[in-house]
Chains A and B, each alone.
Chain A
Amino acid sequence: MKVLQLFCAVLLLHHGAYAQTENELAYKAWLDSMQNPNYIMENTLVLDDLYFVHTKENDQFGLVNFNKNNLADTDKTLSCIPGIALIKRGNFGSEPMLRGMGSERYTVTIDGMRLFGACTDKMDPPSSYIEPNNLSTLNYSLGSEDVLNSSGTGGCVNFGLKSPVFNAQDRFSGRAGLKYNSNFNGFDQLLDANVSLAKYALRGSFVHRKAQNYHIGGGEEVPYSQFEKLNYSLSISRLIQGNSLLTLSFLGDDGLNIGYPALAMDVGYAKAKLFGIGYYKAQWGIFKEVETKIYYNAVDHAMDDTKRANVAMHMDMPGSSKTTGAFIKAELPGGIKAKAEYYNNFSKAEMTMYPEGEAPMYLQTWPEVNRQHVGVALDKVTKIAEEINLQTGVRTEWVGSQIGSAIGQQQLSIFQASGGHNAHVLLNANTKVNIQASTKTKLSYRLSYGERMPTISEQYGYFLFNVLDGYDYLGAPGINKEKVVQNELGWQYQHNHIRWEMNIFHYAFWDYILGASNGAIDPITPAASGVKVYSNIDRASSMGGELSIMANLSKKSHVMLSGTYVVGKDHLFHPLPQIPPLKINAQLQQRVKRFLIVPEVNYSHAQLKVSAQFKEQSTAGYVLFNLGVHHSVPIKNGSIDLVAGVENIADTKYRAHSDLGNIMRVGRNFYLNFIWNFKSIRP
């Protein structure tokens, strides 16, 4: 699976350099132009349909077939990006961190559609509801850079879904795959198919994963770490007059019986349904590339403790999140990209505890909160000189929030807090200078200002237990928006057989949102150490960098190295919690005949900069060794891809610093991945 990491790293450096038929390429370019403005292309991973080329002439660096790896989960796809780390609560649904910042600080969209998890304990980050099999692109920005996609202080991630493909050659194409993971006796199945007609194209997909408990290094089993999920999608596109496209899409994801060993409860079910209607027109009067979309999604989530032993008191914790939205995006005259969007999110979460022989205890942890967002964004790239261009973007967003339930208002009244209803205006602005300093060197500097809304938990959360520090958290309705100023320097160098890219960043936050201990309030969770109320701390900062180096050792062997480092400090210069330590990945791609052999080393330094306020312990460093072997066999009307490998060869017992609950990660795992690609060629 680590080949995937390699693949991603390669793509970071060699995006776009893939071989496809002209027809497909043209179509891809068309779609990409809709989804990914060029200037953020460098942060876009193209995940779809890359062809592994065997012939020596084409034996270029990094042309690894992603098809083979489509049974990687979304977590692994994300974790291969320098600057992204994962918070694990078990073996499922990890929460990505962007430069050490959790999901509060960045926004997640799926094909431009906002989707919010329905779990107050962040068991279901939006990324847990999609499968790489359905993704065509993964577009991310570290920091408040991508104003078209989001407002925020930490950046954004957009998962571009695969659209049905119009293909002149293949009327029918698809793939079927199987994967086995030895460590957790996990079986995955995949099936997808694309039908291309003259005016219509249809795509359907299906993924099923089931895993038993995993084993940490040394062989110890982690109870309650099983999971099962189904993911299914169907989309249909209609070409209209050659230059516009109407697409209806549906995506469903049902997680079942998911264990979260780091938490006190598991998940009975986690279900998401996404519906979207999109319309694209290449030219509409003076507007170019007009894209508009209307969407609705519903997430239902229920925590479950019925399978746990020694439950002191049974409780139900269901949550739901519903988002309805629409946006329109276009390129205005003068090369200005513009977007207007609206969405409304409804989030509700409840807790009912059942003490023996007593009345059930009920409260609303998210008191039926409604939020409306109305945003407008503009972005433009201006050429200042032959070697210099300037990208500027600005976004403003109005956000209104209301508590919908009487119980929620009553809960709030206990704290004599006002602000059941309130509104915020957010501003994001950035400017980036790109300088082609020489044929080998490209430099960039970015200055951006960002603001973000407090999350629903931060504003209205009601006694949310945080396993990280053992406190119950209360939202603060009157909390201020968080602000950041980000400075970033980029340096890219390419010469002959070597290429590197380096980013150095600094974020200065104002009104940084963090929990502050409040001794006057009793926690409701019996094991909790106290209550923290979300509050704005004066200042916080974060700095660090990412480095990727890639070198061709020979035509058949390539080396890649990537490192990421970040330090976060609060207003008193104490470390912020859950900051990942220095991480270095090194990979070798060695081609031996028709096989690609990929040994890899993941190094993580110990994290000693821990937050005492969050009762963090230091985390030991670790080194992991992985090995993957790829093989592809062309057959009539398709190919068969085989990937086999071992992760964590030395069976090292380790955990990442950001992981919750002192749970160790997966030990040695052998995997075998089989994919059959098929197509029927038009006569």
Chain B
Amino acid sequence: MKTLLYLGVFTTLMFSCKKDSDPVLDPDDNLIEIAKSNSVDGLYQIKILSGEALYVGYNTLKVELKKVGSGEVISNASVSLVPMMDMGTMMHSCPIESNLVETSENNKYTFRPTFVMPSTDMASWALNFTAVIGNESTLFKVPIEVKEPEEPKLVMFEDIDNSKKYFIALTEPASPSIGVNDIKVAVYTKKSMMEWPAVDGLSFTIEPWMPSMDHGSPNNVAPVSMGAGLYQGEVNFTMSGEWEIKLEAFENENKIGEAMYTISF
């Protein structure tokens, strides 16, 4: 009986201690390894991490560089990225928030490409990094897999005279919850196979909708331009479940298209 009691007290203590001392979460803790590859010259190793498997849409990549052999972490390089899709007959790149990163955080370089199509048997993605380490330039060519997410995160539309393609990538809410959520989109256009510039100065309307209940939510804030193709607003979820978010895009007060996303939580 006494032993049981002690055990009870012990467990209680243990659990209460655990609760009290929640460690500060390292944001990098939840990263998974996407790919690992040696540089073309074989001197350096690159490791690509992300919160989840890469998907069509706006992704955040964390990149680590190490010297092969010594394992020395390279944290002061200047790294650039050109994502490349090889479709056999043609090749193209995709939008990227900033393709040159000169500082690392926690020994990691962050890139935010927006993949515009998934990998298939006939079409494969590669991430081409160029790292300037000291005065030497080192090249990496890392094949990766890009999946179509269950719910589309990227919407493409063409403006009224089909002269311009717009890519609207939903970046937030990444972990939606009941209540007020930040909504962020990144907007790009396609200028050429290799040029995918950000689009600023659009305006949006926002309408979240719960199709199975046929209702929306009040007091949403339409995303506004923050520069670098990013737009930020607020979306309100009155309950959990499956929500559709409709964004209508306007340029100079003319509607140029709309994007619809489904968020389920």
Is A361 touching B179 in the complex (CB atoms < 8 A)?
A: no
Determine how close the nearest CB of chain A comes to the CB of B208; give it in whole angstroms.
10
Collect the chain A residues with CB atoms within 8 Å of residue B178's CB: 362-363, 407, 410-411
Taking a contact as CB atoms under 8 Å apart, the answer to whether A522 and B216 are in contact is yes
A359→B240 contact, CB < 8 A: yes
Do the beta carbons of A353 and B241 come within 8 Å of each other? yes
In the complex, whether A413 has a CB less than 8 A from a CB of chain B is: yes
Quick one: CB contact mask for B199-214 with A, threshold 8 Å, 1 for yes?
0000000000010111
Interface contact B218-A313, CB-CB below 8 Å: no
Q: Is A639 an interface residue (CB 8 A)?
A: no
Which A residues are CB-close (under 8 A) to B215?
522-524, 526
Which of B177, B178, B180 has the most A CB atoms < 10 Å from its CB? B178
Question: Which residues of chain B have C-beta atoms less than 8 A from A520's C-beta?
Answer: 218
For residue A361, which residues in chain B have a CB less than 8 angstroms away from its CB? 210, 212-213, 239-242
B240 to chain A, nearest CB (A): 4
A355 within 8 A of B: yes
Interface centre among A414, A521, A523 (most CB of B within 10 A): A414
* A463 to chain B: closest residue by CB: B238
Tally of contact residues, B, Cβ under 8 A: 22
Q: Is the CB of B179 within 8 A of A355?
A: no
Q: Number of residue pairs across A and B with beta carbons under 8 Å?
A: 75
Q: Does A409 contact B (CB under 8 A)?
A: yes
CB contact between A410 and one of B177, B210, B213 (< 8 Å): that residue: B177
Check if A362 sits within 8 Å of B240, measured CB to CB.
yes
In the assembled complex, which residues on chain B have CB atoms less than 8 Å from the CB atom of A526? 213-215
CB distance from A195 to the nearest CB of B (A): 35
Q: Is B236 an interface residue (CB 8 A)?
A: yes
> Given that A361-B239, A362-B239, A362-B241 are known contacts, is A355 also in contact with B217, CB under 8 Å in the complex?
no
**B163 at interface, CB cutoff 8 A:** no
On chain B, the residues within 8 Å of A554 by CB distance are: none
Asked if B252 CB lies within 8 Å of chain A CBs, one says no
Query: Which residues of A377-413 have CB atoms within 8 Å of chain B's CB atoms?
Result: 407, 409-413
B212 near A355: Cβ-Cβ < 8 Å: yes
How near does chain A come to B228, taking the closest CB pair, in angstroms? Answer: 28
CA distance A526 to B179 in the complex (A): 20
Compute how far the CA of A358 lies from the CA of B210 in the bound complex, rounded to whole angstroms.
Answer: 11
Across the interface, name the chain B residue whose C-beta is closest to A409.
B179
Establish whether residues A521 and B218, one from each chain, have CB atoms under 8 Å apart when the complex forms: yes
- Which of A359, A411, A412, A521 touches B241 (beta carbons < 8 Å)? A359
A416 vs B221: C-alpha distance when bound (angstroms):
12
Contact present for B219 and A415 (CB under 8 Å): yes
Q: Which among A363, A407, A520, A522 has the highest number of chain B CB atoms within 10 Å?
A: A522
Please list 29 pairs of residues, one from A and one from B, whose beta carbons are closer than 8 Å in the complex, sorted by A's number: A313-B212, A353-B213, A358-B212, A358-B241, A358-B242, A358-B264, A359-B241, A359-B242, A359-B264, A362-B178, A362-B239, A363-B178, A363-B238, A407-B177, A407-B178, A409-B179, A410-B179, A410-B180, A411-B179, A414-B217, A414-B219, A415-B218, A416-B219, A522-B216, A522-B217, A522-B218, A523-B215, A524-B210, A524-B238
Report which A residues bind B (CB closer than 8 A): 313, 351, 353, 355, 358-363, 407, 409-416, 463, 520-524, 526
10 further interface pairs, Cβ-Cβ under 8 Å (given A358-B212, A410-B179, A526-B215)? A353-B241, A358-B241, A361-B212, A361-B239, A411-B179, A414-B219, A414-B236, A520-B218, A522-B215, A524-B210
Chain B: residues with CB nearer than 8 A to chain A?
Answer: 177-180, 210, 212-219, 236-242, 264-265
